[in-house]
Amino acid sequence: MRDVLSVTGMVLLSAPSGDYDRRLVLLTREKGKITAFAHGVRRPGSSLMAASRPFSFGTFQVYEGRSAYNLQSAQITNYFDELSADMEGACYGAYFLEVASWLSDENMDGTELLNLLYVSLKALSKEALPNPLVRRIFELRAMVINGVYTQEPEGRVSESCVYAWQYVIATPLGSLYTFTLKEDVLREFSREVQHAMDEYIHHEFKSLEILEVLSGGKTARPVS
């Protein structure tokens, strides 16, 4: 009898596999990043169809196969449907999923990164928070979780920017998205976070390229 493992996580990637299956990449608390195949999920009426969508968060029952897990069942508690009604928000969300996938590995404790991903996707639905600020907060805190960051910005910036930086790296996740920045401070903050991303995260994210095209270059790297 095969052993079934229950994991809490989110679907980062869902890609077709064969005629009727999907290959899922999940970020889980218990096992870090795992690959799981959802067999027959592309057949009409499959009970796993909704659970195989990106952003789906909940509990997944999986069992080990030869080279990956297989998805047996799932109980989804949040599909983040609000993002599907907001094209820009969905693109930011897709970028967050890609960053989380890049920074995660198998058999790591995925709790903190998963929690950051969850609260960051929720923050994209807050009208009071500009999406570019949510992006930079997410990026900086993701680097903190990954252990590659500085206690203060490396460039010359205002005290407000330094305070925002220190707040983001130290505050509990539940309080992370509770502030806004004036436009000039946001420019400073964005520039410094981008500098850190360039220095510590050596990767070009495809979803970010799409986001920049969609927003007419508004998310492009800030000019120093």
Residue 223 has a pLDDT of 40
pLDDT for residue 217: 59
Positions in the chain whose pLDDT score sits under 50: 220, 222-224
For residue 214, the model assigns a pLDDT of 78
Q: Where in the chain is the domain with CATH 2.40.50.140?
A: 4-78
Average per-residue pLDDT in the chain? 93
Q: What is the pLDDT of residue 2?
A: 79
Task: Return contacts of 112-118, CB within 8 angstroms, 24+ apart.
Answer: 112/145, 112/173, 113/27, 113/142, 113/145, 114/8, 114/9, 114/10, 114/27, 114/28, 114/29, 115/173, 116/141, 116/142, 116/145, 116/173, 116/176, 117/10, 117/27, 118/10, 118/57, 118/78
Tokens of 57: 């968060």
pTM of the model: 0.93
Backbone phi, then psi, for 85, in 5-degree steps? -90, 0
According to CATH, the topology of domain 4-78 is OB fold (Dihydrolipoamide Acetyltransferase, E2P) (2.40.50)
Residue 219 has a pLDDT of: 56
What is the pLDDT at residue 224?
39
Residues 6+ apart with CB under 8 A from 125: 82, 83, 86, 89
Residue 50 has a pLDDT of: 93
Which CATH code, of 2.120.10, 1.10.3470, 1.20.1440, 2.60.120, is assigned to 81-214?
A: 1.20.1440
